[in-house]
A and B are shown apart, each in its own frame.
Chain A
Amino acid sequence: MALTRLVHQVREVGFGQRTSFADGVLTVSADEARGVLADEALASVQLSWVSPGQSARIVKVLDAVEPRSKGPGGGGIFPGFVGPARPQGGGETHVLRGATVVTAGFLPRAQEALVDLSGPAAALSPLGATHNLVVEFTPAEGAPWERVDAALRRGALRLAAALAEASLDAAPDAVEELPSPSAGARGGDLPRIGVVTNLQTQGSFKDVFVYGRSFGAGLPTLLDPGELDDGAVVSGQFGHPALKNPTFMHQNHPVVDELRRRHGNDVEFAGLVICPEPVEQGAKELISLFAAKVCAAAGFDAAIVTKEGGGNADADVALKMDALVDLGIQPVGLYAEMAGADGTGPSVVVAPERATAMVSTGNYDHVLHLPEMEKAYGGEQFALVKAPAAASFEVPTAVVYCALSPLGWGRIAARSG
């Protein structure tokens, strides 16, 4: 299946009478947006644009979504939430690149994440360089938190689809024809490299959805990368800010991007396997063996293995790497290190026993000094340090949204010094 991305670069944003997109300017009607977000679990929502370079911080960041649409009404985008739960990943998809819809506020089990739009932490988060439509919310009285979470998720996806719908008639800045992997078939002499992506599935507020359904009870399966583009994988996982994979990162999966870019040059893109990431050890073992079996059936020579979450999730990567070695497939694991503030602690919680190739996405405990910002969104306080959200404070890299991206977005690493 081939997918064409019609990319519209968002250069300027604002609010206006009606939602529109023209000449790189995205205008949003706040009334229309509130209508899209309306749900009986939400008493009210507040919308703000927060843009790169501003002296601004977003705290309590939940999910982030890139606006995309395949046609009027979404045309099937975000299947299972906005469009019907039917396979997607082909045809044309409009992308508003440089903009996101971001939900921010308190949810149970959510670990506090922040994004700075200027200063040293801005470059550590993908949202530090995008125009972010921040959705803050007040839950309806008596609404169960699970309902609030579901309303925010559905609302953010519908809003993202509605924004991108405004670009359907605009001429794209770029047209990206995306190659699709050919599972199981060797096209030439190039090494066949694929990606195995674990989706954290640890119950409410730490769950990931595939075609609208929790992937918790699923088994590893091949997914066409175009399905990621069209929002088949949606995040409801709010733990470990630096180590989470929001919907935005699945839509722009960095390893998928890299394999697509190099396909036919020095690698053959062998495919994408998604796996649930459960808590229980027996399930971790079954899923790891199963994932390796799927990779073998798809003819992988090597697999990049990615995770989501903290130390517990290291086990899922380690088990898969060993299972791949046992089937003769070369694994490479992406690991965020937890080496302590001074870098001297044992940095990997669970290491593989037979596999040894690991890429570092940085040290979780590395301390950052964040400057004071003029304005904060998402909450009054940054509870971790008990300080006003806009204040200057020291935090571990672990709290910066996607800073240690397990999907390989970041440009930091830990090295032995």
Chain B
Amino acid sequence: MARIVHYINQFFAGVGGEDQAGAGPVLLEGPAGPGRRLAELVAPEHEIVATVWCGDDVAADKVDEIVGLVRSVDPDLVVAGPAFTSGRYGLACARVVAAAHSVGVASVASMHEDNPGLDEAGAAAVVASGEVARRMAPSLERLAAGIQRLLAGETLTAEDGRIGAAARLTVVTDDNAATRAVDLALARLGGDSAATEIPLPRFDRVTPAAPVADASTVMLALVSEGGLVVADNPDGLESARATKWLRYPLEDRDALAAGDYMSVHGGFSTAWANEDPHRILPLDAARELEAEGAIGELLGEYFVTTGNGTSVANARRFGVEWAADLRRSGARAAILTAT
């Protein structure tokens, strides 16, 4: 019998609504809420041994804590949702299954294909739910079928209601890419207008934040993907494919002297950046604006990474971490210098 842990939010756990959105995470023994029906659907082969719930406002930031609770009962599989079209809940479900999957725990989430959390599930499987909670019963049936297949060692496909990006997996081909390119050109000229090896990508569209109403009262932050680090790069920021970001102090500093800072960015010649580091991080101009009172104050540190060949997943994580950090430190505007 496989051991399953179910992740749900505070509402479906029966704890409360928005008033409890900041609570949790909490580990409960056995199934709860929609988990009771799900437990019936996967029995007798499998058992929901525990439920973890967390409030919608905090869950997406407490994924490590949630996954810690999940792993404390040593499950064979983690299931999250159904989250329908609920954005915060969907994001939490997606991040929980992504994190569990990345540490080797079989995982599946359930949400509607329009849920904004869908893209955050990484390589973990997501199966489609209905649009609203009224569709709970059929959504749970599909989820239960997916659980059975995953626990049988099979992979979920579109036939199982799987949604979201399919992973691009490396395969060895019989012919080299040059031969395949000529074959593809002939197929297209022969009238096969759909033939391709790469499906068209789907890009995020980010809605810019509203302008700051009165800059003279806000704390401004300087952040950059230009690879500007202190001399000799003691923290080892990568020149490409960054896996991390760094923070360096700006307090008591009015300028960035050449020689004290350097750019490690691998995507452009860094000669001009090293000659005058303000070309990457305009501390000189920011201090002038601060002195004039055009901005309220400058944050006492800057954040930096290298935006060269950096994976979208890492870049998204850096963005989430920067936004949360800036919000906590009181910054309400940021200048992101890009190269």
Q: Which A residues lie at the B interface, using CB under 8 A?
A: 109, 111, 191, 193, 202-206, 239-240, 254-255, 257-259, 262, 266-267, 279, 301-304, 310-312, 330, 332, 334-335, 337-348, 351, 356-366, 384, 386, 396-398, 405, 407-417
Answer whether residue B186 sits at the interface, using C-beta atoms and an 8 A cutoff. Answer: yes
Q: Which of B170, B178, B238, B267 lies in contact with A407, CB distance below 8 A?
A: B178
Instruction: Give A341 to B236 CA distance when docked, in angstroms.
Output: 20
Q: Are B312 and A346 in contact (CB under 8 A)?
A: yes
**Chain B residues with CB below 8 A from A346, complex form:** 201-203, 312
CB-defined A-B contacts under 8 Å, sample of 22: A111-B266, A193-B185, A254-B178, A255-B182, A266-B186, A303-B185, A304-B178, A332-B184, A334-B181, A337-B198, A340-B312, A343-B167, A344-B168, A344-B313, A347-B168, A357-B185, A359-B180, A410-B176, A412-B170, A414-B169, A415-B197, A417-B168
**Chain A residues with CB below 8 A from B175, complex form:** 411
CB distance from B174 to the nearest CB of A (A): 8
Instruction: Give A81 to B107 CA distance when docked, in angstroms.
Output: 59
**Chain B residues with CB below 8 A from A409, complex form:** 176-178
Report the interface size for chain B: residues with CB under 8 A from the other chain: 54
Answer whether residue B199 sits at the interface, using C-beta atoms and an 8 A cutoff. Answer: yes
Nearest 9 pairs between A and B by C-beta?
A: A408-B178, A343-B167, A254-B178, A408-B177, A417-B169, A414-B168, A342-B123, A339-B168, A302-B185
Q: Are B266 and A410 in contact (CB under 8 A)?
A: no
Q: Are A330 and B185 in contact (CB under 8 A)?
A: yes
Q: Which of B34-77 contact A (CB under 8 A)?
A: none
Q: Are B169 and A415 in contact (CB under 8 A)?
A: yes
Q: Given that A239-B266, A346-B312 are contacting pairs, would A191 and B186 also be in contact in the complex, using a CB cutoff of 8 Å?
A: yes
Closest to B171 in A: A415
Instruction: Give A336 to B313 CA distance when docked, in angstroms.
Output: 18
Q: Are B197 and A358 in contact (CB under 8 A)?
A: yes
Q: Which B residues lie at the A interface, using CB under 8 A?
A: 102, 121-123, 155, 165-182, 184-186, 188-189, 194-203, 236, 238-241, 266-270, 308-309, 311-314
Q: Are B241 and A396 in contact (CB under 8 A)?
A: yes
Instruction: Give A359 to B269 CA distance when docked, in angstroms.
Output: 30
Closest to A407 in B: B178
Q: Which of A202, A330, A334, A343 lies in contact with B177, CB distance below 8 A?
A: A334
Q: Are A359 and B181 in contact (CB under 8 A)?
A: yes
Q: Given that A254-B176, A398-B241 are contacting pairs, would A312 and B267 also be in contact in the complex, using a CB cutoff of 8 Å?
A: yes
Q: Which of B173, B240, B314 lies in contact with A412, CB distance below 8 A?
A: B173
Instruction: Give A416 to B121 CA distance when docked, in angstroms.
Output: 16
Instruction: Give A346 to B155 CA distance when docked, in angstroms.
Output: 21
Q: Are B123 and A386 in contact (CB under 8 A)?
A: no
**Chain A residues with CB below 8 A from B270, complex form:** 109
CB distance from A35 to the nearest CB of B (A): 33
**Chain B residues with CB below 8 A from A310, complex form:** 240, 267, 308-309
Instruction: Give A413 to B267 CA distance when docked, in angstroms.
Output: 25
**Chain B residues with CB below 8 A from A205, complex form:** 269
Q: Are B178 and A258 in contact (CB under 8 A)?
A: yes
**Chain B residues with CB below 8 A from A344, complex form:** 121-123, 165, 167-168, 313
Q: Given that A109-B269, A411-B172, A417-B166 are contacting pairs, would A351 and B178 also be in contact in the complex, using a CB cutoff of 8 Å?
A: no
Q: Are B178 and A330 in contact (CB under 8 A)?
A: no
CB distance from B223 to the nearest CB of A (A): 20
Instruction: Give A302 to B121 CA distance when docked, in angstroms.
Output: 39
CB distance from B180 to the nearest CB of A (A): 5
Not counting A302-B186, A344-B313, a sample of 18 additional A-B residue pairs whose C-beta atoms are within 8 angstroms of each other reads A111-B239, A191-B185, A267-B186, A310-B309, A312-B267, A330-B188, A340-B314, A342-B123, A347-B168, A356-B200, A357-B195, A366-B170, A398-B241, A413-B170, A414-B169, A415-B168, A417-B167, A417-B168
Q: Are B269 and A405 in contact (CB under 8 A)?
A: no
**Chain A residues with CB below 8 A from B312, complex form:** 340, 345-346
Q: Which of B166, B194, B203, B311 lies in contact with A416, CB distance below 8 A?
A: B166
Q: Given that A310-B308, A411-B176 are contacting pairs, would A360 and B198 also be in contact in the complex, using a CB cutoff of 8 Å?
A: yes
